[in-house]
């Protein structure tokens, strides 16, 4: 089973409440939910958050949710958030792969199915995305069961997805422009 996790915390240092900031009348998280739901390979999409507002929004969109402890918000390594979700979800599902999709990349350039196919074809344990300047971004984190259970990666790779990494108000302008062009 392939499960997508959208880690959507309420707290953001640079752009307050950014995951619920509206672009064209929809919150930022909407675009990541839509991206996941367009995939033919994702079996389930789950939102992990400490925010009741975000959890309510996810449930209104018929998504399963995980209440994330506040200690896993802020400057926590994202792998800890994915492992937390895995520990909860593995009780219900036979997870082989977890796909992490951070909501602050609403204008991803590569289809999710294409990214998952690369992960499978190369028989990876971990695949992440970078922008064209070689900066790691949270647009895609694909993790094998092996990594989620705390084992070392045998095979890691990355893809280039030059999408916007939203941190500031000026980034929202770039996202609007990119989404309009689609």
Reduce the DSSP state of residue 138 to 3 states and report it: strand
Q: What is the pLDDT of residue 45?
A: 98
Q: What is the dihedral of CA 104, 131, 138, 145, to 10 degrees?
A: 150
Tokens of 155: 């095979």
Q: What is the pLDDT of residue 127?
A: 97
Q: Which stretches of the chain score pLDDT less than 50?
A: none
Q: What is the pLDDT of residue 76?
A: 82
pTM of the predicted structure, to 2 decimals: 0.94
Per-position DSSP letters for 167-182, written without gaps between them:
-SHHHHHHHHHHHHH-
Listed in sequence order, the residues at least 6 apart from 178 whose beta carbon sits closer than 8 Å to its beta carbon are 107, 163, 164
User: Taking a C-beta distance cutoff of 8 angstroms, is the pair 103, 146 a contact?
Assistant: no
Output Rg (C-alpha) for the chain, integer angstroms: 15
Whole-angstrom distance, CA of residue 179 vs CA of residue 182: 5
pLDDT, tens digit, 9 for 90 and up, residues 98-112: 999 999 999 999 999
């Amino acid at each position: 089973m392939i499960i997508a996790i959208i880690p959507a915390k309420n707290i953001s240092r640079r752009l307050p409440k950014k995951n619920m900031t509206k672009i064209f009348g929809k919150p930022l998280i909407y675009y990541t939910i839509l991206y996941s739901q367009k995939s033919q390979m994702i079996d389930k999409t789950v939102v992990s958050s400490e925010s009741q507002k975000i959890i309510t929004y996810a449930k209104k969109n018929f998504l399963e949710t995980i209440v994330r402890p506040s200690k896993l918000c802020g400057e926590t390594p994202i792998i800890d958030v994915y492992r937390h979700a895995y520990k909860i979800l593995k009780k219900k599902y036979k997870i082989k792969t977890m796909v992490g999709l951070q909501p602050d990349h609403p204008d991803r350039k590569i289809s999710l199915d294409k990214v998952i196919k690369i992960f499978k074809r190369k028989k990876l344990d971990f695949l992440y995305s970078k922008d064209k300047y070689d900066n790691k971004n949270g647009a895609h984190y694909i993790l094998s069961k092996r990594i989620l259970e705390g084992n070392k990666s045998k095979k890691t790779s990355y893809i280039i997805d030059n999408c916007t990494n939203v941190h500031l108000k000026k980034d929202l302008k770039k996202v609007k422009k990119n989404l309009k062009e689609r």
